[in-house]
A = this chain, B = another copy of it.
Amino acid sequence: MKRRQVVAGIGAAALAGAACTRNEGGGEGAAPAQKTFKWKMVTTWPPDFPGLGTGATEVARIIERCSGGRISIKVYGGGELVPAFETFDAVSSGTAEMGHSGAYYWKGKLEASSFFATVPFGMNAQEMNGWLYHGGGWELWKEAYAPFNIMPFPAGNTGVQMGGWFNREIHGVADLKGLKMRIPGLGGEVFRRAGGTPVALAGSEVFTSLQTGVVDAAEWVGPYNDLAFSLHKAAKYYYYPGWHEPGATLECLVNKQAFEALPADLQAIVQTACSSVNDRMLAEFTARSAQALDELVNVHKVKVRAFPDDVLAELRRLTAVVMSETAADDPLFRRVHDSYMEFLARVRGWTRISEQAYLQAR
């Protein structure tokens, strides 16, 4: 069901510095009006949540500015128009023309979707963009979403997410046994195989659950968002680097009929706005997380630790087990998995002597 609204273009076209009049009969001196489009964007984020929600709003604003107002987009936080996790269905049905979210949220209906966001021990942001734009990843993503009537666009990245907050130090695999941790998705499944108990909690519940001891550990995003939630105040916690979400791509979802109803220039604007936010959101996370980490460590005296090598090795081994079990049951998951892993195998050699070697040399 498509709810795109087409209205006469005078107001919007005036914003573009060009007022056109409707040409009903092709009379001399008249021309067809430029159509305008009023869209809704639903999101999985709290309204204007730092980085994620503000990134979604930025996509909308860029489209409005570039189109001179020919497209206007009202952005809804999770729960404002539809519940956060009905974002995908709302765009699929046309209740909203557009959505902003992370593909791994749709793992329940489409197991392969995790690869279009991030997977444990997978690619970082720079590698993900390489795979999506130049390694066949985006084509697979479009194919995976096509049966749902949705066109996906990369539209943001958090960079490497932190491994989370723990109420004890992790000295070995045995320390994970029985640990209750807020950790969703594939990472949560790997954590379960390692002996822990993954707990499903919305972001808004993380602080209280940590503080009251409902969970022993929790991951959210990274310093920028974790500081916004004051997770360092929830308890005296240890902060660990990440392994399970090494470069989470965010997505814009566009209803197929809504997109196809746009003229070519507005289609190009939608696509370019998403790519622009894909560029700018990672920059925002990088700058703001640097500030926030500085504050967490130097003002709030948070203790940063590292997982021992044997813990990482076990999590890596279990990730491969989970992947291969899922691939055996799901042909689309297998195809996307194989494309992703083939690209990763090649790009990691380049990352090793470029980004990684440089960071060590610096």
Contacts and interface: CB of A to CB of B under 8 A. Distances in A.
Interface in A14-55: 15-21, 27, 29-34
Q: What interface size band does chain A fall in?
A: 35 or more
Contact of A280 (B133, B222, B347): B133
Nearest to A10: B31
Interface of A: 15-21, 27, 29-34, 62, 65-69, 121, 124-127, 129-135, 159-160, 162, 222-223, 241-243, 246, 263-265, 268-269, 272-273, 275-276, 278-280, 282-284, 286-291, 293-294, 297, 304, 306-307, 312, 316, 343, 346-362
B279 A358 contact: no
B17 A34 contact: yes
- How many copies of this chain does one complex carry? 2
Given A18-B34, A65-B264, A278-B279, A359 B124 contact: yes
Question: Chain A's interface: helix, strand, loop or mixed, by majority?
Answer: helix
A59 to B, nearest CB: 11
Contacts of A68: 263-265
B355 A290 contact: no
Contacts of A343: 287, 290
Centre residue among A17, A129, A223, A361 by max chain B CB count within 10 A? A361
B287 A361 contact: no
